[in-house]
């Protein structure tokens, strides 16, 4: 298939996935903000969300103080913010439009419909009326995009590039999410013993789990109270947890295997190595070296992998 | 019902015969429509708009915002009431189209080779040499099957002839990149979805196999270097107004939609850049004008095409559809000669009429045109898209005077034609059902043989009284039904349509 087409498909699915993850983070932050908590903790949450996305400085330049409503506005509606939900949905749709001939009608119509509806919803004030409902809708549309892709597309290159984008983006997003939440906690109340804090811990960890639809999964897997190291293990190392780093990398490797061409050896090596480290990794080792350092390095490597994929498959090769 | 009849009594030739009798092939539809509740059409139209928007059947308006302010894509207005053509009229038209397109392809081959028609004194030499669409780069270049215009869009109108009978006239030949076929196909899908019952009561010739015929035509045009030719559609990109059509056709044919940046030429062969390395391209269905095809030969600053393409083309290693330089034959200055071309190349009498045309380059024709400006339509020879024309009866004195100056300054840049009393078709507009002028663009495919699907794109002028149907001028489209023989009579389907009218 055309390199340009592959590039559009890859980014189409990355943007769709990114919109979903942004909605997940905003949703959880919004719900947490409804709980009784100190203003400084609430502020920390919103700040964290901006730093996950590397947008804190852009935000403060534009809005000054971090407030819940300003962050929501910035991360959902701001068309000048390329990571806002509306920007991601537009970019997904524009990428799809550029290659609509390579998509099934159902996939194209789903993305086009999402884009048309999000504009209507925002205009009608649905975000302000009921943020939770709006975020549910974004997640649902993303589920639908993935579902209709798997359910209707020929399992050819177009399909595998689309899947590759989804899981690379997911690996990136989950790593950022885990990093910022653990970071916030280490600075604030992780490891303290007061009963108030224990209660707070519970809500904090459960909110991370819920942001990746992992709360029920946690209970099922561990049958235990919620402990930070287990949350980390679930989201990083468990291959059966759909949004974990390990599960995402497994999919990246699987799709890359199908796509391999004569130049892509190094890309496979990088992906395979990263995946193997997750497969044979242990959470106590990771925590011992420091979670933040580990995740920062992980993000760098995902980024590097994306650059290799781009070079090997997506950029027009020289004549 | 009475009111509906009266509205059309004055109008020529689509719905009604001269005595205000509804023409036979419209009767079933007319009776069906009369039975519909008042708000049905408005509801269906809303439904159609929603579907068109969701499917993304849009065209881009340069420098304009759409209704949501979120982009520059517009819907082309779709009219719910089909235009119906009886079987005998279509059969005549089809024969005429095959004949005309065959002659036009012969003409293009001739002007780039021996120029027999010029030597015979039928088309004046300067007519050719002053034509900006005449590409010297094509002189002596041989093309597969000697076909230049694989895809031709011939614009037809119906109007009263000298005896006051309705007759079809060719208004314009489009031999470069005629567009609109995707709307023909989507309009049919929409009508079938909204009014399935109507297809039980009419034998409507299908059009959905057009992409198959197109692919067959393109494959048949491949250089004979490979058994399995690779066909691509070349688009200027998603900002082009007809991008929807380009993507649609590529998808329907199952071929790659490429942009210039996806192609490169090596050793006089064309390749596309794929995730698994270069793949050779044999046939390019190009959707951009000659000027943008190859920066080494045409506009050097254009990035839409592919450098070296013309070399590969002249070496016979790739087929460009339509060929470079076909514009030489669809010019308004060549149009008046088409009937003579048919006689010259085929030795046949033309089946389809031209609209009588005065060529202002001739003294007598210029004098006649100047004396009758308010009754004529005057067109720039190189105008397109409904621009650069004067519709005499609808123009102000000042407009006529401006045009007179332009005409005198450059007579050979203009032709004039009598204003035809174009046929109208009932159309669903804001005020209800009203007559609006229409034309028809059938798409004729020339590969190993010349073929087409029965029908075409009917365009409709939505502004009251307007004769201009171009989408860039606010025109809309309709589904076009060619009825097959043995159509049911009104009586035999009455009970059927009644149960389906809800």
**For B58, which residue in chain A has the nearest alpha carbon?**
A97
Residue A195: pLDDT over 80: no
**Tens-digit pLDDT profile for residues A120-170:** 999 999 999 999 999 999 999 999 999 999 999 999 999 999 999 999 999
Neighbouring C-beta atoms of residue B364, cutoff 10 Å: 9
Tokens of A235: 């989201």
The distance of A87 to chain B (nearest Cα, Å) reads: 12
Asked if A283 and A233 count as a contact pair (C-beta separation under 8 A), the reply is: yes
Tokens of A252: 């990246």
d(CA A48, CA B229): 56
Residue B53, chain A, CB below 8 Å: the answer is yes
**Tens-digit pLDDT profile for residues A60-119:** 999 999 998 999 999 999 999 999 999 999 999 999 999 988 899 999 999 999 999 999
Residues with Cβ within 8 Å of residue B225, at least 6 apart in sequence:
B282, B317
* Residue B274, phi then psi, degrees to nearest 5: -120, 170
Mean pLDDT of all residues in A289-303: 92
pTM for this one? Answer: 0.86
What is the per-residue pLDDT for B143? Answer: 94
What is the per-residue pLDDT for B194? Answer: 94
The answer to whether the peptide bond before residue B322 is cis (omega within 30 degrees of 0) is yes
CB-CB neighbors (< 8 A) of B256 in chain A? 1-2, 5, 101
What is the per-residue pLDDT for B27? Answer: 86
| B171-188 per-residue burial string, b: 16 or more CB within 10 A, e: under 16 | bbbbbbbbbbbbbbbbbb
CA atoms within 13 A on the CB side of B54: 15
Tokens of A90: 């537009």
Best to test chain A binding among B231, B256, B268, B274 (most A CBs inside 10 Å): B274
Centroid of chain to Cα B246: 15
Radius of gyration of chain B (CA): 23
d(CA A172, CA A280): 20
Q: A317, B238: Cβ pair inside 8 Å?
A: no
What is the per-residue pLDDT for B10? Answer: 45
What is the per-residue pLDDT for B135? Answer: 92
Q: How many CB pairs under 8 A join A and B?
A: 71
What is the per-residue pLDDT for B448? Answer: 92
Residue A96, chain B, CB below 8 Å: the answer is no
Residue A116, chain B, CB below 8 Å: the answer is yes
Task: Give me the sign of the Cα torsion angle A220, A225, A229, A231.
Answer: positive
Tokens of B501: 């009218």
Residue among B38, B45, B33 at smallest CA distance from B8: B33
Q: What is the DSSP string of B369-429?
A: HHHTGGGEEEEETT--TT-SEEEGGG--HHHHHHHHHHHHH-GGGEEEEEPP---EEEEEE
Q: Report the mean per-residue pLDDT for chain A.
A: 89
Among A2, A99, A112, select the one facing B54 at the smallest CB separation.
A112
Q: What is the mean pLDDT of each run of 10 residues along chain B (502 residues)?
A: 35 55 83 87 91 83 54 82 93 97 98 97 90 91 95 92 84 94 95 94 95 97 91 93 92 94 96 93 96 91 91 95 94 92 97 93 92 90 70 87 89 88 83 86 96 95 78 83 74 44 40
d(CA B147, CA B319): 10
CA distances from A272 to A254, A279, B417, B437 (A): 10, 10, 73, 66
Residue B3, chain A, CB below 8 Å: the answer is no
| B389-407 per-residue burial string, b: 16 or more CB within 10 A, e: under 16 | bbbbeebeeeeeeebeeeb
Residue B303, chain A, CB below 8 Å: the answer is no
Neighbouring C-beta atoms of residue B8, cutoff 10 Å: 21
Q: Bridge partners of B180?
A: none
CA distances from B27 to B12, B454, B456, B491 (A): 16, 21, 22, 10
d(CA A302, CA A307): 9
CB-CB neighbors (< 8 A) of B265 in chain A? 319
Which DSSP category does B205 fall into? Answer: P
What is the per-residue pLDDT for B6? Answer: 32
**For A4, which residue in chain B has the nearest alpha carbon?**
B262
Tokens of A249: 């990398």
CB-CB neighbors (< 8 A) of B264 in chain A? 319
């Amino acid at each position: 298939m055309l390199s340009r087409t592959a590039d559009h498909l890859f980014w189409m699915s990355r943007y769709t996935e990114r919109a979903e993850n942004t909605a997940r983070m905003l949703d959880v932050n919004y719900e947490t903000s409804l709980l009784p908590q100190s203003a400084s903790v609430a502020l920390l949450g919103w700040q964290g969300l901006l730093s996950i996305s590397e947008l804190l400085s852009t935000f403060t330049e534009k809005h000054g103080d971090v407030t819940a409503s300003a962050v929501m506005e910035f991360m959902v509606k701001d068309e000048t913010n390329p990571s806002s939900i509306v920007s991601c949905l537009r970019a997904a749709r524009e990428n799809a439009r550029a290659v609509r001939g390579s998509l099934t009608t159902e996939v194209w119509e789903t993305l086009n419909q999402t884009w048309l509806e999000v504009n209507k919803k925002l205009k009608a004030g649905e975000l302000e009326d009921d943020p939770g409902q709006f975020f549910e809708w974004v997640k649902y549309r993303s589920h639908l995009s993935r579902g209709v892709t798997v359910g209707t597309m020929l399992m050819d290159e177009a399909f595998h590039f689309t899947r590759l984008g989804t899981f690379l983006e997911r690996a990136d997003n989950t790593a950022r999410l885990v990093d910022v939440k653990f970071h916030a906690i280490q600075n604030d109340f992780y490891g303290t013993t007061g009963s108030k804090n224990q209660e707070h811990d519970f809500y904090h960890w459960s909110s991370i789990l819920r942001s990746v639809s992992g709360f029920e999964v946690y209970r099922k897997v561990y049958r235990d109270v919620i402990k930070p190291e287990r949350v980390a293990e679930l989201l990083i190392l468990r291959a059966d947890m759909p949004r974990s780093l390990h599960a995402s990398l497994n999919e990246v490797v699987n799709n890359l295997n199908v796509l391999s061409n004569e130049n892509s050896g190094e890309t496979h090596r990088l992906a395979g190595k990263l995946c193997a480290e997750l497969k044979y990794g242990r959470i106590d080792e990771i925590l011992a070296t420091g979670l933040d350092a580990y995740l920062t390095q992980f993000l760098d490597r995902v980024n590097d992998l994306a650059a290799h994929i781009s070079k090997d498959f997506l950029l027009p090769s020289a004549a | 019902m009475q009111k509906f009849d009266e509205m059309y009594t004055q109008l020529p030739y689509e719905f009604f015969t001269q005595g205000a009798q509804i023409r036979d092939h419209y009767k079933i539809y007319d009776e069906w429509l009369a039975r519909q509740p008042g708000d049905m059409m408005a509801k269906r139209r809303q439904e159609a708009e929603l579907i068109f928007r969701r499917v993304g059947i849009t065209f881009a308006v340069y420098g304009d915002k759409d209704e949501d302010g979120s982009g520059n894509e517009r819907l082309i207005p779709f009219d719910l009431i089909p235009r119906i053509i009886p079987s005998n009229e279509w059969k005549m038209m089809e024969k005429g189209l095959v004949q005309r397109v065959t002659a036009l392809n012969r003409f293009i081959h001739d002007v780039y080779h021996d120029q027999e028609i010029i030597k015979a004194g039928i088309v004046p030499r300067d007519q050719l040499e002053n034509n900006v669409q005449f590409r010297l780069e094509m002189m002596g270049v041989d093309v597969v099957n000697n076909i230049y215009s694989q895809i031709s869009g011939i614009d037809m109108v119906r109007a009263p002839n000298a005896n006051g009978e309705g007759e079809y006239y060719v208004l314009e030949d489009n031999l470069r990149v005629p567009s609109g076929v995707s709307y023909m196909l989507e309009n049919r899908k929409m009508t079938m979805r909204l009014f399935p019952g109507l297809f039980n009561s009419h034998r409507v010739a299908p059009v959905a196999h057009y992409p198959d015929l197109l692919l067959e035509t393109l494959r048949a045009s491949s250089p004979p270097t490979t058994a399995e030719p690779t066909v691509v559609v070349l688009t200027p990109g998603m900002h082009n107004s007809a991008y929807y059509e380009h993507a649609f056709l590529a998808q329907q044919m199952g071929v790659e939609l490429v942009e210039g940046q996806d192609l490169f030429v090596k050793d006089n062969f064309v390749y596309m850049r794929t995730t698994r390395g270069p793949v050779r391209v044999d046939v390019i269905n190009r959707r951009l004008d000659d000027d943008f095809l190859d920066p080494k030969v045409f506009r050097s600053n254009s990035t839409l095409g592919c450098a070296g393409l013309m070399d590969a083309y002249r070496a016979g290693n790739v087929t460009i559809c339509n060929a470079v330089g076909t514009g030489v034959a669809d010019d308004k200055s060549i149009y008046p000669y088409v009937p003579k071309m048919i006689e010259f190349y085929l030795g046949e009498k033309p089946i389809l009429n031209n609209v009588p045309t005065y060529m202002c380059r001739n003294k007598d024709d210029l004098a006649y045109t100047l004396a009758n400006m308010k009754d004529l339509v005057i067109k720039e020879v190189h105008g397109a898209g409904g621009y650069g024309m004067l519709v005499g009866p609808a123009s102000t004195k000042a407009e006529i005077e401006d045009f007179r100056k332009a005409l005198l300054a450059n007579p050979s840049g203009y032709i004039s034609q009598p204003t035809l009393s174009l046929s109208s078709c009932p159309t669903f507009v804001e005020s209800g059902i009203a007559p609006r002028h229409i034309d028809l663009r059938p798409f004729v495919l020339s590969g190993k043989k010349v073929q087409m699907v029965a029908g075409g794109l009917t365009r409709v002028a939505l502004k009251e009284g307007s004769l201009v149907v171009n989408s860039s001028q606010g025109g809309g489209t309709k589904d076009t039904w060619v009825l097959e023989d043995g159509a049911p009579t009104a009586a035999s389907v009455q009970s059927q349509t009644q149960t389906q009218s809800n």
